[in-house]
Structure 1
Amino acid sequence: MHFGRWLHLLCLSLLLNGCASVSPTSTSATLDRMLADPALNGATVSLMVRDARSGATLYQYNPRTRLVPASNLKLLTTAAAMEVLGPQYRFSTQLRGNGVQQGERLTGNLYLRGLGDPTTQLADYQALAAQLASQGVRQVQGDLVFDDTWFDTERLGVDWAQDDESTYYGAQISALTVSPDTDFDAGTLIVTAKAPATAGQPVSVVLSPPTDYVQLSNRAVSGPGNTYGITRRHGTNLLQLTGALAPGEQRREWVSVWEPTQLVANLFEQALAQQGIKVLGRRVIGGATPNTATLLAEHQSAPLQALITPLLKLSNNNMSEALLKAMGRQTANAGTAQAGVAAVAAFMQRQGLDPATLSQVDGSGLSRRNLVSSQNLTDLLLATARQPWFKAWYDALPIAGNANRMSGGSLRYRLRGTPAENNLHAKTGSMAGVSSLSGYIQDADGRRLVFSMLSNNYLGDAAPIRALENRLAVALTQWRD
């Protein structure tokens, strides 16, 4: 009797601990049931699961149906960049002159030449000005030329949504730009508003980096209702602050600027003035630097193998577009999205993949004219795993449930407390009616799988679709053939 009671308590303990002795097994039928979820009624899904070593297909559902991938397209862009540009590739920003120095005077023009670096910050431009001052220059007789010709003048991607235009993730692309933070949200300003303690009083506003390039229309006040908001009027740098912010509350918003090259011009002129350097000539935007101009100072970015971490973890659109145009410049001497797409297609062909089976128009996935299938993405994941730079790329993918922002990235709040936590390495993607998740995961036997799930045309909130993606990830950790 005593033994029977002990055995009963042991079994109850095992049950409460989630079947500690035996893990449930997932099969194709498990995924069939998942795809029958009512959240997918009227939606279109492309799903494929494969063995990462052999490439064998373990499950497929509409594997060759092309869908909008959103930010899953960054898998293709970054993988191509690692091969085309190389893991050690660095962006550069140069200060050049086409005259000679005579005492404190620099004859000729001064050129600030941008080579596409989306990570350059105000401090980097200030350091360039300080390097020039350290050489004894106090006066520039010619013009100050801001050279952004390394990339074309197409500031936005193909068919980007109009209502994304003032957002940080829809910021304009320029070869000469500035980031306000270490997330490298290039082409944007951080607008910090603080409400005073007295209701009805206007909020105070601070811009980072500090600039007078934008104009403020501040109608926001301290008060109840939490209706504060900020917009930028199309074609201008007029920032309109409206609504109410609770007394004592502070709010930070990231707002893109119109023409980031001119924002750089504003900031660099301030930097020169702080160093006591006076320019006698004009400000010239978009002029080309002569090949004979002498290098006076230079700033280089971190290597690409380091830059892909913030890019993939935080799904940085502007960095992705810079990489696409940099590939175009590298392969065809044309800093255009079209040349970059051609470079990506050539990379695919070298990996034995067929670029004719997909459509790519930008680097970030922000356009709805991008179309890929789960077959395309799992083919890419298999090919990438064979590359010498694979570890750096794999580590740059968001890791499920990892609370560290630069480890977990866009997956840091998902799948905590599940077998997918710190197991799943994958890229997320999201826009209205679109959700995607593609990457690598280990199954119940420790075998690495690759998978891709693309969902389009669902209605309502994305939460039920993400819940299905999470169920898929957990199911794959329990997969057994």
Structure 2
Amino acid sequence: MSAILGTHGPLLVRTGGTALVGVLTAGLLAVGAAPATAADGLSDLRTDLDALLKDPLLAGATSGVVVRNAATGEVLYEHQPQTSLLPASNNKLLTSAAALEVLGADYRFSTLVSATAAPSDGVIEGDMHLIGTGDPSLTAETFDALAAKVADAGVTEVTGDLIADDTWFDDARLGAGWEAGDQPYYYAAQVSALTVAANSDLDTGVVEVQVSPGTRGGRAVGVALRPATDYVRVDNTATTGGRGKLAVTRRLGGNTIAVSGGLPLGGRAVTELRTVHEPTGYALDVFRRALADNGVRVGGSPVSGTAPADLIGLVHHESAELGELLVPFMKLSNNTHAEILVKTIGRRAGGEGSWAAGLPEVERALTRIGLDTPGLGLELTDGSGLSRGNRLSAALLADLLQEATDEPWFETWTDSFPIAGDPDRMVGGTLTNRMRGTPAAGNVRAKTGTMTGVSALSGYVTGKRGEPLLFVVLDNGHTGAAPRPVQDAIAVRLARFARDAPTVGDASRTIRQIHPGQQPNDRLECSWARAC
């Protein structure tokens, strides 16, 4: 537990530009106050949390809340702990823990290049096969390095086809219950055992579309795709200085990206991420281009197929270990990584890379960790939480956070959680812009979750006297602004908690202090809005 939990000194809360500092010492609320008992601090905590859950942001909502001592399991606070709720991206807590349990923190994904014959004088008389096992970190640079290895192996020409084998997973690309309107957007990318990550964030199965204004008004805007690919077509009707807001959309069922509207003359370039339909072909096209760049000519066509068993291995690539890959997955809340892990779990434990095989194995892994999944009402339809078919209770998530503390992979797991207020995106992740200037900053490690009408925050925090706490907040059914200020106020209140120091506070004032001048819901969690 010491790996993630530490003590904190003075309480620091910022309101606008004013810093309010209060030091609680040896059970004294103020100089000359009577000594407090342990019961006072706990009673006041419960009073404050009750008040926070009555905030207008939660009007009409259902909230499941649990707070426990993370070392002993003592329940400090509960509110509707058994209620079945939508978890949104808090579902990733289950998926990541199950992946560590089933696959291990040292698991690596492999990508193979094989051929029907060994090269003779640099020529392979036959086909070359690119075989994937679900690596979510295959970037254009990775494919270039793989192609360079092929060239270093002495290959200059392939007379046959370049064949992609993605059969490590099934061919179901989209999760059950995913909204059709989400399909063009990066958070709903199609799942394949062979895909491309477009950037260093490892956004998988998407292409970056960069749109820049022309040199004169009325001219077409410039559009570039990264990674460069012929697999995606651009239909560009946008103009420099043209009327209408710039729109970048992928038409469903294919790989035509329509760019319309306009950009102001002299304005900044705009970069959008859009998903790729059937991403296996996208990976194959990126690899084909990399082979050409490295002097390897392919005479045949790029096609998909199943690699025969008698191929000759040429080169292979291994990903970073799973423990390292969890960082971009959890910090940035990458939905596609979650689904890749579910299918990988299914392949490893159930013999089939599918949601149908993987989700039951996730539940079995959680049972081995110590969760009573049937008793706590767990229903899983995907790994990321994008589907509205997922259901669980705050008590189940609290049990996971509790039981995980005894697992050998616990530190690896919590290292992947976003850390409140840290400006480094690969540290703060979806909590980078939250709880800054409060005792929760640099203290809270927690997973966020956001969907329309759903918001969640669950993880760990250290109290004022160094007490290790875990907390779960699941909010469903709010009709207005997302209640992230309330969630943050709960986390800050836990960071201030001391059993021997009564600290009843004004709940609404605490919320204003955490989000000075910010209208609630004026930004989405960073995993859903690139502007974060």
- Shift in Å, 1:17: 4.1
- Shift in Å, 1:278: 2.8
* 1:446 paired residue among 451, 458, 466: 466
* 1:89 paired residue among 100, 107, 112: 107
Q: In structure 2, what is the Cα distance between the partners aligned to 1:270 and 1:412?
A: 37
| Residues 267-296 of structure 1, C-alpha deviations (whole Å, 9 max, x = no match) | 2222222233233344321x1222222221
- Shift in Å, 1:133: 1.6
Query: Identity, % of aligned pairs?
Result: 42
Match of 2:359 in 1: 341
Task: Say whether 1:461 aligns with 2:481.
Answer: yes
Q: In structure 2, what is the Cα distance between the partners aligned to 1:424 and 1:373?
A: 21
| Residues 174-230 of structure 1, C-alpha deviations (whole Å, 9 max, x = no match) | 100001111111111101111124322211111100112111111212227771111
Partner of 1:18: helix, strand, or coil?
A: strand
Moved more, 119-128 or 413-422: 119-128
* 1:215 paired residue among 233, 256, 259: 233
So what's the TM-score if we normalise by structure 1? Answer: 0.93
Match of 2:293 in 1: 274
Partner of 1:331: helix, strand, or coil?
A: helix
Match of 2:87 in 1: 69
When residues 17 and 155 of structure 1 are mapped into structure 2, their CA distance, relative to the original with a 3 A threshold, is closer
Match of 1:161 in 2: 179
Q: In structure 2, what is the Cα distance between the partners aligned to 1:158 and 1:440?
A: 31
Match of 2:408 in 1: 388
Task: Say whether 1:194 aligns with 2:212.
Answer: yes
Q: In structure 2, what is the Cα distance between the partners aligned to 1:346 and 1:110?
A: 39
Match of 2:199 in 1: 181
Q: CA RMSD in A?
A: 1.7
Match of 2:277 in 1: 258
- Shift in Å, 1:429: 0.4
Q: In structure 2, what is the Cα distance between the partners aligned to 1:162 and 1:216?
A: 21
Match of 1:7 in 2: none
Task: Say whether 1:118 aligns with 2:136.
Answer: yes
- Shift in Å, 1:404: 1.2
Match of 1:310 in 2: 328
Whether the 8 Å contact between 2:169 and 2:193 is mirrored in structure 1 is yes
| Residues 35-68 of structure 1, C-alpha deviations (whole Å, 9 max, x = no match) | 1112212111111111101112111111011111
Match of 1:418 in 2: 438
Q: Which runs of 4+ in 1 moved over 6 A?
A: none
When residues 29 and 137 of structure 1 are mapped into structure 2, their CA distance, relative to the original with a 3 A threshold, is same
1:307-386 equivalent positions in 2, closer than 5 A: 307-356=325-374, 357-386=377-406
* 1:404 paired residue among 424, 432, 446: 424
Partner of 1:355: helix, strand, or coil?
A: coil
Gaps (5+ residues) in structure 2? 1-17, 30-40, 500-532
Match of 1:12 in 2: none
Task: Say whether 1:244 aligns with 2:282.
Answer: no
Whether the 8 Å contact between 1:224 and 1:246 is mirrored in structure 2 is yes
So what's the TM-score if we normalise by structure 2? Answer: 0.84
When residues 226 and 414 of structure 1 are mapped into structure 2, their CA distance, relative to the original with a 3 A threshold, is farther
Q: How many residues align?
A: 464
When residues 123 and 445 of structure 1 are mapped into structure 2, their CA distance, relative to the original with a 3 A threshold, is same
Whether the 8 Å contact between 1:77 and 1:320 is mirrored in structure 2 is yes
Whether the 8 Å contact between 1:143 and 1:283 is mirrored in structure 2 is yes
- Shift in Å, 1:245: 1.5
- Shift in Å, 1:98: 2.6
Partner of 1:429: helix, strand, or coil?
A: strand
Return the letter of the residue paired with 1:19.
G
